[in-house]
């Protein structure tokens, strides 16, 4: 083999070996573990809400009569089809689900914090869809305040 050809082969060999090893590296699909959480004090560059299961939140919306009325309307539009208008009977969609969704009455919610309820609405869980993209922060907090008044 000519010296120039030998030098080319020696120069390319490490690159070819690296290409073979790349297939054996661990890789993850989008939104698969490990999805790294942002640092605690991070501010999103998009200006959108930064919400995780570990977030500690305080309810910024006071339960005024107007806010409770808006929360009631939001519940009727977004939640009642599954959870029911009253906690005694599930909505038309909720009746078809096995097991049916909870009734969201006072007894169920009294031991849960506002932040817990807000995260459940925002991030969803189980079969419940997430409402983070469908309802504004204000609307989700109004919904939390309304749920506190249900019997």
Query: What mean pLDDT value characterizes the chain?
Result: 82
DSSP annotation of 17 = H
Residue with tokens 């890789």: 27
Q: What are the 10-residue block averages of pLDDT along the chain, 151 residues in total?
A: 84 78 68 67 65 73 92 92 87 89 82 88 87 90 90 73
- Which one, of 136, 137, 98, lies nearest residue 115 by Cα? 137
DSSP annotation of 23 = T
44, two tokens: 């999103």
Q: What is the pLDDT of residues 54-96, one digit of tens each?
A: 667 888 898 899 999 999 999 999 999 999 888 788 989 988 8
Residue with tokens 């910024």: 60
123 three-class SS: helix
DSSP annotation of 130 = P
> Structurally, what CATH architecture does the domain formed by 65-149 represent?
Orthogonal Bundle (1.10)
**pTM of the predicted model as reported, rounded to 2 decimal places:** 0.64
Residues in the chain: 151
- Is 122:130 a contact under the CB 8 Å cutoff? yes
pLDDT (0 to 100) of residue 143: 94
DSSP 70-108: HHHHHHHHHTHHHH-SSTTS--TTGGGSSSPPP---HHH
Write down the domain spans for the chain.
65-149
pLDDT (0 to 100) of residue 6: 87
Rounded Cα distance between 143 and 75, Å, is 7
């Amino acid at each position: 083999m000519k010296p120039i050809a030998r030098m080319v082969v020696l120069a390319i060999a490490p690159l070819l070996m690296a290409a073979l090893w790349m297939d054996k590296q661990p890789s993850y699909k989008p939104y698969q573990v490990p999805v790294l959480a942002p640092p605690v004090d991070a501010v999103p560059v998009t200006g959108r809400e930064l919400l995780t299961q570990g977030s500690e939140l305080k309810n910024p919306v006071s339960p005024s009569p107007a806010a409770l009325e808006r929360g009631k309307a939001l519940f009727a539009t977004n939640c009642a089809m599954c959870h029911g208008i009253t906690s005694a009977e599930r909505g038309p969609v909720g009746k078809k689900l096995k097991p049916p969704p909870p009734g969201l009455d006072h007894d169920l919610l009294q031991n849960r914090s506002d932040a817990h309820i807000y995260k459940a609405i925002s991030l969803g869980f189980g079969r419940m869809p997430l409402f983070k993209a469908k309802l504004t922060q204000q609307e989700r907090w109004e919904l939390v305040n309304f749920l506190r008044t249900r019997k």
